[in-house]
Amino acid sequence: MESGHRMIQWVEIDRKAFLNNVGEFKKRLGRTALMAVIKANAYGHGLLPMARLAQEAGLGWLGVNNLEEGLVLRQAGFNQKILILGYTGLDQAKEVVQADLRSVVYNLESIRALARAARCLRKKAIVHLKIETGTNRQGIPGKKLGEIVRELKKLPEIEVEGVSSHFANIEDTTDDFYPKRQLANFLEAVNFLEKNGLVIPIKHLACSAAAILFPETYFDLARVGLGLYGLWSSRETLISCQQRGQEPLKLKPVLSWRTRVAQVKPVSSGSYVGYGCTYRTTRASKLAVIPVGYYDGYDRSLSNTAYVLIKGHRAQIRGRICMDFIMADVTDIPGVKLEDRVTLLGSDGQEKITAEQLASLAGTINYEIITRINPLVPRVIV
Ligand SMILES: Cc1ncc(COP(=O)(O)O)c(C=O)c1O
């Protein structure tokens, strides 16, 4: 973000860390192509900055959630292969084909809408069939595969480029029973499709955890999100990796979230802090007022629980997280002054706050901590 003034709040994107993570996955995947999953504003890292870094890293595939994200990328001039992983509305088919976006499909209505759009535009609609293998999210159930193939044979405007599925239980477990069952279901579906005359240039199944743990799921393309941002999908993924005697990937977190002190405030012992007066000081204290709140994606459940970093020290959050503010205790941190840098997530000196720590305190997962950072907060590549 370029602006004449300094930012009050920003997200730093560590370019070297991202390129390192791409290298780690490329090494693991060998000949399998790597898709950077940059849906959900690139897991909070910023859609355009991460598309730029993916391009720099030479990644030819980008995964987005919807048409809107795809269009933002096309309008910014990105010409990689872009696959819409989420749902595409029937009335969006024309825009999808026009912008050369690929979409996953799992019902006849979408396939027909794309065929109509393609006919109208005199182009092909490129699709990836999504197979239901046990996640029971998007996907074509086994029983419907025959119907889909018959329909595809009638629609020359549709080019089936890929067949995919997604794992349900691969991250937070050391038990590989369910992914194995899903892999078997996937292979069965692929076999059925091929026997019925469908040529499948690209098969893809693996997400970060699968790309780390299960070479048998690699096929032609791996869709990797969290790992490229330098985070582990779960502690169990790391443990499974160690149990299998595999060298853990050397992943480096890409994102840091920072702001500046908006006010330094001495308060007397017995003062209440914030909405609901949920905290009361037990000594004369110094508070730092921090201009970030739950609107920005800093979870309200972190009230009175988490800490931020100022001058390389931990400053405990006092009182409730407000919509746009947090108060933190800097009584024991010497010399804190207006506009000192505050780290909400990331490192400062010897101290660091990880997405996993915040997730554990907030009762959620690292994915949610990072994706929830308000897209309006500027993202800066450093
Ligand atoms: C369909 C699909 N593929 C791939 C991914 C990437 O998963 P991960 O971030 O665990 O690599 C996701 C993320 O949720 C997804 O929904």
Which residues of the chain have a pLDDT value below 50? 1-3
Compute the distance between CA of residue 228 and CA of residue 35 in angstroms, rounded to an integer.
Answer: 10
Nearest ligand 1 atom to alpha carbon 171 = 10
Compute the distance between CA of residue 207 and CA of residue 251 in angstroms, rounded to an integer.
Answer: 15
Q: In Å, what is the CA distance from 162 to each residue of 75, 95, 102, 215?
A: 25, 20, 10, 19
What pLDDT is attached to residue 4?
Answer: 56
H-helix or E-strand containing 287? strand 285-290
Question: Distance from the CA of 44 to the center of ligand 1, in angstroms?
Answer: 14
Half-sphere exposure of 314 (CA within 13 A, CB side): 9
> Which residues belong to the active site?
39, 275
Exposed e or buried b for every residue in 68-98, given b needs 16+ CB within 10 A?
ebbbebbeeebebbbbbbeebeeebbbbbbe
Nearest ligand 1 atom to alpha carbon 223 = 4
37 in ligand 1 pocket by Cβ < 6 Å?
yes
Question: Distance from the CA of 342 to the center of ligand 1, in angstroms?
Answer: 31
Question: Distance from the CA of 228 to the center of ligand 1, in angstroms?
Answer: 11
Single-letter code of the amino acid located at 359? A
Half-sphere exposure of 74 (CA within 13 A, CB side): 19
List, for residues 49-62, the tens digit of each pLDDT value: 999 999 999 999 99
What pLDDT is attached to residue 126?
Answer: 98
The two three-digit tokens of residue 194, written as one number: 């091929």
Q: In Å, what is the CA distance from 127 to each residue of 82, 83, 190, 291, 327?
A: 11, 9, 15, 45, 50
Domains defined along the chain, listed by start: 15-243 (3.20.20.10), 255-353 (2.40.37.10)
- Plot region of 363 (φ>0 → left; ψ -120 to 50 → alpha; else → beta): left
- Which residue has tokens 């590549």? 381
What pLDDT is attached to residue 142?
Answer: 96
